[in-house]
Amino acid sequence: MKKISSFALFAALCVLPISHSFAAWKELGSNALMVVYVDLDTVSAVGEKAQIMSMLDFKKPGVNPKTKQPVNSIIGINEYNCPAVSYRPIEYKEFSGNKGTGDVVSDNKTPDSEFEPVVNESWAAGVFNVVCQRK
């Protein structure tokens, strides 16, 4: 994987307008850089597309490229196109603390973002498998 700071932009995980503190986080897995969580209660589907709230909790802080502030977690919502094996960020927040705690480093709304392919063995692939299998 690339640097966490560029990963944070590419990952672009998003936040639902509800409080993340009430999320029922389920750990999907981890690697040397992060632990990936989803909130299964937030899955919604319309046609071939599905959305879910996800969290990346970094083992080492990343850095927001604009503000240069440390980022320890990202919570957001992505939309997945199950037949096309692709996803796009809808909205995401970067946090200074782990598991969505601390200050909000950035609050990003990206409703017009383009769908990107889901890459095997990426965090997006793990979330894709959960949300698209539930449909």
Distance between CA atoms of 13 and 73, rounded to whole angstroms?
10
Q: What is the CATH number of the domain that holds 116?
A: 2.40.128.710
3 state SS of 4: helix
State the average pLDDT over residues 105-111. 96
Structural domain of residue 123, as residue ranges?
4-134
| Structural domains in the chain (count) | 1
Amino acid at 82: C
Tens-place pLDDT, residues 1-42: 333 333 333 333 333 343 455 679 999 999 999 999 999 999
What Å distances lie between residue 74 and 49, 60, 64, CA to CA? 22, 13, 11
Distance between CA atoms of 122 and 38, rounded to whole angstroms?
14
Tens-place pLDDT, residues 41-57: 999 999 999 999 999 99
Distance between CA atoms of 20 and 71, rounded to whole angstroms?
16
For the chain, the average pLDDT equals 86
User: For residue 133, what pLDDT band results from cuts at 50, 70 and 90?
Assistant: confident
